[in-house]
Structures are given as structure tokens and as C-alpha cells.
Amino acid sequence: MGERAWIRGARRGSVEDLEQLFRAHWPRAYRAAYLVTGDAAAAEDIAQESFLAAIRNLDRFDRRRPFGPWLHRIVVNRAIDYTRARHLRAEVELGDVHAAPAGPEPDDGTFERIVGLSPEHRAVVVLRYVLEYTPGEIAELLDLPRGTVNSRLRRGLDRMREPE
């Protein structure tokens, strides 16, 4: 069975089909959220909430289209919102004593370089080089002009190449 069949089954109420859909898409959704937020606990919540949002709207989903981009759009936009909000709150936080659980961190230094970018640049870099969307698809996912996507990609990569 493929993705379309899982979506069809889930819309009819099949938990088994929903689980297939969830398991197929969770790793990339979680990874994308983690790379944009840099926070494993937040990534878990964001990916989870994104699935919940997707399920709430499953009946309106055009099942001729792939599920992944639809989900990733929700994930990445929420991750950007979270990251912006966290920056805004940073100076008034009392601080929490709990360490975040270990995340799915790339081991080649890429992660540190990605989290050094602004949320907007992070999002396009993750979508392009981790989730492998084309610039045109990213423009559609984030409701951005294609030129903006290209310039953010260029600047993002430039900053990642800068010596620390």
C-alpha cells in the first residue's frame, strides 16, 4: 500500500493506515523541526502538533498531492514561529533546569552552522539541503517569491562557510 491508500484509509477512520502515514513521515518532520529550532524537546512538540493539525484537516487534504510537502509546510512555519518567539522571550526567562534530551544531531558540524543562521535562513537551508526540496517547491511551501528563496539560500550558505 502506498501513501494515497494510507490517506484514504485514515480518512475512513483506519488507525493502522494513519500509523503507516505517521511512521513514514515522522523522522523527516522531526528532523526538520529540530534543525530549525535547535531544540529537541521543542522539535518533538512541533512535529507532534503539526501531525495533529494535519489530521484535523485530513478531510480537506487533496489526496492527489503528496502528503510530505503539506506536512513540512506546517512543521517549518511552526518551527520558525517558535524560534522567533523564543528570541523575543529570551531576556525575561528565569531559565529551566531541565536539559533537553539528545536530538538527532548531524555529527559533521553542520548542525552548529545551521543553528547560527536566522530562523528564516535556517528554514530554507533545511528544506533545500536536508529535505531536498527544489527552490520552486520551497517558494510554494513558505509562500515566498522564488527570488527570496534563492537569495536566502545563497546568504545562508555564505554564512555557513564563514570561518568562526
Site for another protein, rule CB under 8 A = 10-13, 15, 18-19, 22-23, 26-27, 30, 40-42, 44-45, 47-48, 51-52, 55-56, 59, 81-82, 85-86, 89, 92-101
Least Cβ distance, residue 45 to another protein (angstroms): 6
Question: Based on CB atoms, which residue is closest to another protein, 31 or 128?
Answer: 31
Least Cβ distance, residue 153 to another protein (angstroms): 27
Question: Based on CB atoms, which residue is closest to another protein, 59 or 162?
Answer: 59
Least Cβ distance, residue 44 to another protein (angstroms): 4
Q: Is 59 within 8 Å of 11 (Cβ atoms)?
A: yes
What's the DSSP call for residue 133?
-
Least Cβ distance, residue 66 to another protein (angstroms): 19
Q: Is 37 within 8 Å of 83 (Cβ atoms)?
A: yes
Counting Cβ atoms within 10 Å, is residue 41 exposed (0-12), middle (13-18) or buried (19+)?
Answer: middle
For 67, the grid coordinates are 502528503
Question: Based on CB atoms, which residue is closest to another protein, 29 or 141?
Answer: 29
Question: Based on CB atoms, which residue is closest to another protein, 122 or 128?
Answer: 122
Least Cβ distance, residue 41 to another protein (angstroms): 6
Report which secondary-structure segment, H or E, holds 154: helix 146-161
Burial code (b: 16+ CB inside 10 Å, e: under 16) for 57-91 equals: eeeebeeeeebeebbbbbbbbbbbebbeeeeeeee
